Structure 1
Amino acid sequence: MGQLIDDILLLSRASRQEMKLNQLDMTALAKSVYPEFQNDVEGRNIKFTVGDLPQAYGDRAMIGQVFQNLIGNAIKFTRNRDPAIIEVGGKEQDKELVYYVKDNGAGFDMKYINKLFGLFQRLHSAEEFEGTGVGLSIVQRVIRRHGGRVWGEGSVDEGATIFFSLPKDIPQEK
Protein backbone atom coordinates (compact mmCIF):
# COMPACT_ATOMS: atom_id res chain seq x y z
CA MET A 1 0.00 0.00 0.00
CA GLY A 2 2.88 2.36 0.81
CA GLN A 3 4.44 1.73 -2.61
CA LEU A 4 1.13 2.41 -4.31
CA ILE A 5 0.77 5.75 -2.50
CA ASP A 6 4.36 6.69 -3.41
CA ASP A 7 3.72 5.82 -7.06
CA ILE A 8 0.50 7.84 -7.19
CA LEU A 9 2.34 10.83 -5.69
CA LEU A 10 5.05 10.45 -8.38
CA LEU A 11 2.35 10.38 -11.05
CA SER A 12 0.79 13.52 -9.64
CA ARG A 13 4.18 15.29 -9.52
CA ALA A 14 4.83 14.29 -13.14
CA SER A 15 1.79 16.38 -14.07
CA ARG A 16 2.26 19.41 -11.85
CA GLN A 17 5.97 19.77 -11.11
CA GLU A 18 7.65 22.78 -12.70
CA MET A 19 10.00 21.68 -15.45
CA LYS A 20 13.59 22.93 -15.46
CA LEU A 21 14.74 22.40 -19.04
CA ASN A 22 18.43 21.79 -19.67
CA GLN A 23 20.54 20.02 -22.24
CA LEU A 24 20.87 16.42 -21.07
CA ASP A 25 23.64 13.90 -21.63
CA MET A 26 21.20 11.02 -22.14
CA THR A 27 23.97 8.39 -22.23
CA ALA A 28 25.29 9.43 -18.82
CA LEU A 29 21.76 9.75 -17.43
CA ALA A 30 20.79 6.22 -18.53
CA LYS A 31 24.05 4.76 -17.18
CA SER A 32 23.58 6.55 -13.83
CA VAL A 33 20.27 4.77 -13.21
CA TYR A 34 21.49 1.15 -13.34
CA PRO A 35 23.52 1.22 -10.07
CA GLU A 36 20.34 2.25 -8.22
CA PHE A 37 19.12 -1.32 -8.80
CA GLN A 38 22.16 -2.98 -7.22
CA ASN A 39 20.05 -5.06 -4.81
CA ASP A 40 17.84 -6.30 -7.67
CA VAL A 41 20.71 -7.32 -9.95
CA GLU A 42 23.04 -8.83 -7.35
CA GLY A 43 23.88 -12.42 -8.23
CA ARG A 44 22.17 -12.21 -11.63
CA ASN A 45 23.79 -12.60 -15.03
CA ILE A 46 22.73 -9.36 -16.73
CA LYS A 47 24.25 -7.85 -19.84
CA PHE A 48 23.37 -4.16 -19.56
CA THR A 49 24.45 -1.88 -22.41
CA VAL A 50 23.85 1.77 -23.19
CA GLY A 51 24.52 2.97 -26.72
CA ASP A 52 25.70 6.42 -27.73
CA LEU A 53 22.46 8.33 -27.16
CA PRO A 54 21.75 11.72 -28.72
CA GLN A 55 21.64 14.60 -26.27
CA ALA A 56 18.21 16.06 -25.54
CA TYR A 57 16.53 18.97 -23.80
CA GLY A 58 14.46 18.15 -20.78
CA ASP A 59 14.00 18.18 -17.05
CA ARG A 60 16.81 16.03 -15.65
CA ALA A 61 14.83 14.65 -12.69
CA MET A 62 11.81 13.80 -14.81
CA ILE A 63 13.76 12.12 -17.63
CA GLY A 64 15.79 10.34 -14.95
CA GLN A 65 12.48 8.98 -13.61
CA VAL A 66 11.62 7.74 -17.11
CA PHE A 67 14.90 5.80 -17.32
CA GLN A 68 14.41 4.53 -13.74
CA ASN A 69 10.98 3.14 -14.57
CA LEU A 70 11.97 1.62 -17.91
CA ILE A 71 15.26 0.09 -16.75
CA GLY A 72 13.59 -1.08 -13.52
CA ASN A 73 10.88 -2.81 -15.56
CA ALA A 74 13.49 -4.44 -17.79
CA ILE A 75 15.34 -5.76 -14.72
CA LYS A 76 12.09 -7.03 -13.19
CA PHE A 77 10.74 -8.71 -16.31
CA THR A 78 14.04 -10.45 -17.13
CA ARG A 79 14.19 -12.06 -13.68
CA ASN A 80 13.84 -15.56 -15.18
CA ARG A 81 16.44 -15.07 -17.94
CA ASP A 82 20.07 -16.20 -17.85
CA PRO A 83 21.58 -14.19 -19.28
CA ALA A 84 19.24 -11.22 -19.08
CA ILE A 85 19.94 -8.74 -21.85
CA ILE A 86 18.95 -5.10 -21.40
CA GLU A 87 19.85 -2.54 -24.03
CA VAL A 88 19.30 1.22 -24.01
CA GLY A 89 19.62 2.92 -27.37
CA GLY A 90 18.59 5.94 -29.34
CA LYS A 91 18.92 7.89 -32.56
CA GLU A 92 17.86 11.06 -34.32
CA GLN A 93 14.87 10.48 -36.55
CA ASP A 94 13.28 13.29 -38.54
CA LYS A 95 12.26 16.05 -36.10
CA GLU A 96 12.57 13.95 -32.98
CA LEU A 97 15.00 11.96 -30.90
CA VAL A 98 13.93 8.36 -30.34
CA TYR A 99 15.15 6.32 -27.36
CA TYR A 100 14.37 2.77 -26.28
CA VAL A 101 14.87 0.24 -23.51
CA LYS A 102 14.85 -3.32 -24.86
CA ASP A 103 14.96 -6.59 -22.93
CA ASN A 104 14.72 -10.34 -23.50
CA GLY A 105 12.27 -10.86 -20.64
CA ALA A 106 8.66 -11.92 -20.22
CA GLY A 107 7.39 -9.59 -22.94
CA PHE A 108 3.68 -9.05 -23.57
CA ASP A 109 0.99 -9.86 -26.08
CA MET A 110 0.60 -7.00 -28.59
CA LYS A 111 -3.19 -7.39 -28.51
CA TYR A 112 -3.00 -5.65 -25.09
CA ILE A 113 -0.83 -2.75 -26.28
CA ASN A 114 -3.69 -0.29 -25.63
CA LYS A 115 -3.52 -1.19 -21.91
CA LEU A 116 0.27 -0.93 -21.57
CA PHE A 117 0.39 2.72 -20.49
CA GLY A 118 -2.94 2.79 -18.64
CA LEU A 119 -3.04 3.63 -14.95
CA PHE A 120 -3.17 0.47 -12.78
CA GLN A 121 -3.08 -1.73 -15.87
CA ARG A 122 -1.00 -4.85 -15.43
CA LEU A 123 -0.29 -7.40 -18.13
CA HIS A 124 1.21 -9.91 -15.66
CA SER A 125 -0.13 -11.17 -12.35
CA ALA A 126 1.08 -9.66 -9.07
CA GLU A 127 2.24 -13.13 -8.04
CA GLU A 128 4.42 -13.40 -11.14
CA PHE A 129 5.86 -9.83 -11.07
CA GLU A 130 5.42 -7.25 -8.33
CA GLY A 131 4.40 -3.68 -9.10
CA THR A 132 1.57 -1.19 -8.85
CA GLY A 133 0.74 -0.61 -12.52
CA VAL A 134 1.69 3.07 -12.31
CA GLY A 135 5.23 3.14 -13.73
CA LEU A 136 4.47 3.29 -17.45
CA SER A 137 1.72 5.87 -16.79
CA ILE A 138 4.38 8.08 -15.19
CA VAL A 139 6.65 7.54 -18.21
CA GLN A 140 3.87 8.52 -20.59
CA ARG A 141 2.91 11.61 -18.60
CA VAL A 142 6.51 12.87 -18.36
CA ILE A 143 7.23 12.31 -22.04
CA ARG A 144 4.00 13.99 -23.14
CA ARG A 145 4.84 17.02 -20.99
CA HIS A 146 8.14 17.19 -22.89
CA GLY A 147 6.27 17.15 -26.22
CA GLY A 148 7.15 13.55 -27.04
CA ARG A 149 5.37 10.24 -27.38
CA VAL A 150 5.69 6.70 -25.97
CA TRP A 151 4.99 3.30 -27.51
CA GLY A 152 5.96 -0.31 -27.09
CA GLU A 153 6.56 -3.56 -28.92
CA GLY A 154 6.67 -7.01 -27.42
CA SER A 155 6.10 -10.68 -27.77
CA VAL A 156 5.23 -13.15 -25.01
CA ASP A 157 8.39 -14.77 -23.60
CA GLU A 158 10.55 -12.95 -26.14
CA GLY A 159 10.99 -9.58 -24.50
CA ALA A 160 9.75 -6.05 -24.88
CA THR A 161 10.98 -2.73 -26.20
CA ILE A 162 9.58 0.52 -24.85
CA PHE A 163 10.28 3.56 -27.02
CA PHE A 164 9.96 7.23 -26.23
CA SER A 165 10.65 10.30 -28.30
CA LEU A 166 11.59 13.85 -27.46
CA PRO A 167 11.57 16.81 -29.84
CA LYS A 168 14.95 17.84 -31.28
CA ASP A 169 14.12 21.46 -30.46
CA ILE A 170 13.78 22.76 -26.92
CA PRO A 171 10.30 21.61 -25.80
CA GLN A 172 7.72 24.04 -24.54
CA GLU A 173 6.36 23.08 -21.12
CA LYS A 174 2.91 21.48 -21.14
Structure 2
Amino acid sequence: MGRSALRLSDVDLNALVDAIRQDLAPDYAGREIVWDIAPLPRVIADPAFINLALHNLIANAIKYTRGREPAHITIGSEQNHDETQIYIRDNGVGFDMAYANKLFGVFQRLHRMEDFEGTGIGLASVRRIIERHDGRVWAEGHLDQGACFYFTLPRHPATT
Protein backbone atom coordinates (compact mmCIF):
# COMPACT_ATOMS: atom_id res chain seq x y z
CA MET A 1 0.00 0.00 0.00
CA GLY A 2 2.81 2.41 0.82
CA ARG A 3 4.77 2.08 -2.39
CA SER A 4 2.34 1.55 -5.25
CA ALA A 5 1.37 4.66 -7.17
CA LEU A 6 -2.14 6.01 -6.76
CA ARG A 7 -4.22 5.58 -9.89
CA LEU A 8 -6.61 8.49 -9.61
CA SER A 9 -9.91 8.40 -11.45
CA ASP A 10 -13.53 9.41 -11.08
CA VAL A 11 -15.05 7.26 -8.29
CA ASP A 12 -18.78 6.82 -7.70
CA LEU A 13 -19.00 6.39 -3.92
CA ASN A 14 -22.65 5.25 -4.17
CA ALA A 15 -21.67 2.30 -6.35
CA LEU A 16 -18.77 1.43 -4.03
CA VAL A 17 -20.97 1.45 -0.92
CA ASP A 18 -23.60 -0.71 -2.67
CA ALA A 19 -20.96 -3.24 -3.74
CA ILE A 20 -19.41 -3.32 -0.26
CA ARG A 21 -22.80 -3.90 1.38
CA GLN A 22 -23.46 -6.81 -1.00
CA ASP A 23 -20.00 -8.22 -0.31
CA LEU A 24 -20.53 -8.00 3.47
CA ALA A 25 -24.13 -9.30 3.40
CA PRO A 26 -23.14 -12.76 4.73
CA ASP A 27 -21.57 -11.04 7.78
CA TYR A 28 -24.90 -9.57 8.83
CA ALA A 29 -27.33 -12.20 7.57
CA GLY A 30 -30.14 -12.65 10.09
CA ARG A 31 -29.46 -9.31 11.78
CA GLU A 32 -31.66 -6.27 11.63
CA ILE A 33 -29.63 -3.34 10.34
CA VAL A 34 -31.29 -0.05 9.48
CA TRP A 35 -29.19 1.56 6.76
CA ASP A 36 -29.46 5.29 6.18
CA ILE A 37 -27.32 6.08 3.16
CA ALA A 38 -27.47 9.58 1.76
CA PRO A 39 -26.60 10.24 -1.88
CA LEU A 40 -22.82 10.39 -2.00
CA PRO A 41 -20.67 12.52 -4.31
CA ARG A 42 -18.25 11.40 -6.95
CA VAL A 43 -14.62 11.93 -5.97
CA ILE A 44 -11.24 11.80 -7.66
CA ALA A 45 -9.35 8.99 -5.93
CA ASP A 46 -7.76 5.59 -6.41
CA PRO A 47 -10.85 3.36 -6.62
CA ALA A 48 -9.15 0.23 -5.23
CA PHE A 49 -7.73 2.04 -2.21
CA ILE A 50 -10.92 3.99 -1.47
CA ASN A 51 -12.86 0.74 -1.76
CA LEU A 52 -10.50 -0.82 0.81
CA ALA A 53 -10.91 2.11 3.23
CA LEU A 54 -14.71 2.19 2.92
CA HIS A 55 -14.92 -1.61 3.17
CA ASN A 56 -12.98 -1.50 6.43
CA LEU A 57 -15.08 1.28 7.96
CA ILE A 58 -18.40 -0.31 6.96
CA ALA A 59 -17.26 -3.76 8.15
CA ASN A 60 -16.32 -2.21 11.50
CA ALA A 61 -19.73 -0.55 11.79
CA ILE A 62 -21.35 -3.95 11.17
CA LYS A 63 -19.02 -5.71 13.63
CA TYR A 64 -19.30 -3.20 16.47
CA THR A 65 -23.12 -3.00 16.29
CA ARG A 66 -23.51 -6.72 17.04
CA GLY A 67 -26.04 -7.09 19.81
CA ARG A 68 -27.91 -3.93 18.82
CA GLU A 69 -31.49 -4.58 17.75
CA PRO A 70 -31.78 -2.89 15.44
CA ALA A 71 -28.35 -1.72 14.45
CA HIS A 72 -28.28 1.71 12.79
CA ILE A 73 -25.58 2.55 10.27
CA THR A 74 -25.59 5.95 8.58
CA ILE A 75 -23.34 6.90 5.69
CA GLY A 76 -23.26 10.46 4.42
CA SER A 77 -21.12 13.30 3.20
CA GLU A 78 -20.55 17.03 3.31
CA GLN A 79 -19.01 19.11 0.58
CA ASN A 80 -16.73 21.87 1.82
CA HIS A 81 -14.90 24.44 -0.27
CA ASP A 82 -11.72 22.43 -0.71
CA GLU A 83 -12.61 18.92 0.48
CA THR A 84 -15.29 16.26 0.56
CA GLN A 85 -16.03 14.74 3.96
CA ILE A 86 -17.47 11.22 4.22
CA TYR A 87 -18.76 9.73 7.47
CA ILE A 88 -19.92 6.33 8.72
CA ARG A 89 -21.91 6.49 11.97
CA ASP A 90 -23.24 3.59 14.02
CA ASN A 91 -25.05 2.90 17.28
CA GLY A 92 -22.58 0.23 18.40
CA VAL A 93 -20.35 -0.18 21.42
CA GLY A 94 -18.49 3.07 20.76
CA PHE A 95 -15.22 3.95 22.47
CA ASP A 96 -13.79 6.26 25.08
CA MET A 97 -12.58 9.49 23.43
CA ALA A 98 -9.60 9.45 25.80
CA TYR A 99 -8.20 6.70 23.56
CA ALA A 100 -9.20 8.20 20.19
CA ASN A 101 -5.56 8.94 19.36
CA LYS A 102 -4.79 5.20 19.49
CA LEU A 103 -7.55 4.13 17.10
CA PHE A 104 -5.56 4.55 13.90
CA GLY A 105 -2.31 3.01 15.16
CA VAL A 106 -1.07 -0.37 13.93
CA PHE A 107 -2.16 -3.24 16.18
CA GLN A 108 -4.07 -0.88 18.48
CA ARG A 109 -7.27 -2.36 19.82
CA LEU A 110 -9.74 -0.70 22.17
CA HIS A 111 -11.89 -3.81 22.61
CA ARG A 112 -10.96 -7.28 23.77
CA MET A 113 -10.13 -9.87 21.12
CA GLU A 114 -12.68 -12.18 22.79
CA ASP A 115 -15.43 -9.62 22.18
CA PHE A 116 -14.56 -8.49 18.64
CA GLU A 117 -12.32 -10.31 16.18
CA GLY A 118 -9.76 -8.45 14.11
CA THR A 119 -6.07 -7.84 13.58
CA GLY A 120 -5.78 -4.23 14.68
CA ILE A 121 -4.46 -3.06 11.31
CA GLY A 122 -7.71 -2.06 9.61
CA LEU A 123 -7.96 1.53 10.84
CA ALA A 124 -4.22 2.02 10.39
CA SER A 125 -4.72 1.02 6.76
CA VAL A 126 -7.63 3.45 6.44
CA ARG A 127 -5.45 6.25 7.83
CA ARG A 128 -2.60 5.43 5.43
CA ILE A 129 -4.93 5.33 2.41
CA ILE A 130 -6.60 8.62 3.23
CA GLU A 131 -3.33 10.37 4.05
CA ARG A 132 -1.86 9.19 0.73
CA HIS A 133 -4.82 10.95 -0.91
CA ASP A 134 -3.91 14.14 1.03
CA GLY A 135 -7.00 13.71 3.19
CA ARG A 136 -7.63 13.52 6.93
CA VAL A 137 -9.23 10.84 9.10
CA TRP A 138 -10.65 11.00 12.64
CA ALA A 139 -13.33 9.49 14.83
CA GLU A 140 -15.77 10.49 17.55
CA GLY A 141 -17.45 8.10 19.93
CA HIS A 142 -18.91 7.48 23.33
CA LEU A 143 -18.90 4.21 25.22
CA ASP A 144 -22.09 2.24 24.51
CA GLN A 145 -23.45 5.07 22.34
CA GLY A 146 -21.82 4.37 19.00
CA ALA A 147 -19.09 5.91 16.93
CA CYS A 148 -18.65 8.04 13.85
CA PHE A 149 -15.64 7.75 11.57
CA TYR A 150 -14.81 10.57 9.19
CA PHE A 151 -12.43 11.02 6.32
CA THR A 152 -11.84 13.78 3.83
CA LEU A 153 -10.59 13.83 0.28
CA PRO A 154 -9.44 16.97 -1.48
CA ARG A 155 -11.83 18.35 -4.06
CA HIS A 156 -10.41 18.51 -7.54
CA PRO A 157 -11.53 21.02 -10.18
CA ALA A 158 -13.27 18.22 -12.10
CA THR A 159 -15.58 17.48 -9.14
CA THR A 160 -16.30 21.02 -8.00
Q: What TM-score do the two structures reach when normalised by structure 2?
A: 0.95
Aligned to 1:96: 83
Residues 116-158 of structure 1, C-alpha deviations (whole Å, 9 max, x = no match)? 1000000000001010100000000000000100000000000
Q: Where does structure 1 differ by over 4 angstroms across 4 or more consecutive aligned residues?
A: none
C-alpha distance in structure 2 between counterparts of 1:17 and 1:49, whole Å: 34
- What count of residue pairs does the alignment treat as equivalent? 157
C-alpha distance in structure 1 between counterparts of 2:50 and 2:37, whole Å: 15
Residue identity (%): 46
Tell me whether 1:105 sits opposite 2:104 in the alignment.
no
C-alpha distance in structure 2 between counterparts of 1:31 and 1:56, whole Å: 16
Aligned to 1:15: 2
Q: What is the root-mean-square deviation in Å for CA atoms of aligned residues?
A: 1.0
Which protein has the bigger helix share? 1
Tell me whether 1:139 sits opposite 2:121 in the alignment.
no
Tell me whether 1:85 sits opposite 2:72 in the alignment.
yes
> Residue 37 of structure 1 is aligned with which of 11, 21, 24?
24
Q: CA deviation at 1:18?
A: 2.1
Query: What secondary structure is seen at the aligned counterpart in 2 of 1:66?
Result: helix
Q: CA deviation at 1:49?
A: 2.6
Structure-to-structure mapping, 1:71-82, within 5 angstroms: 71-82=58-69
C-alpha distance in structure 2 between counterparts of 1:26 and 1:57, whole Å: 10
Q: CA deviation at 1:22?
A: 0.4
Give the counterpart letter for 1:152 in structure 2.
Answer: A
C-alpha distance in structure 1 between counterparts of 2:63 and 2:76, whole Å: 19
C-alpha distance in structure 2 between counterparts of 1:23 and 1:107, whole Å: 33
Residues 85-138 of structure 1, C-alpha deviations (whole Å, 9 max, x = no match)? 111100101210000111000000000011010000000000010101000000
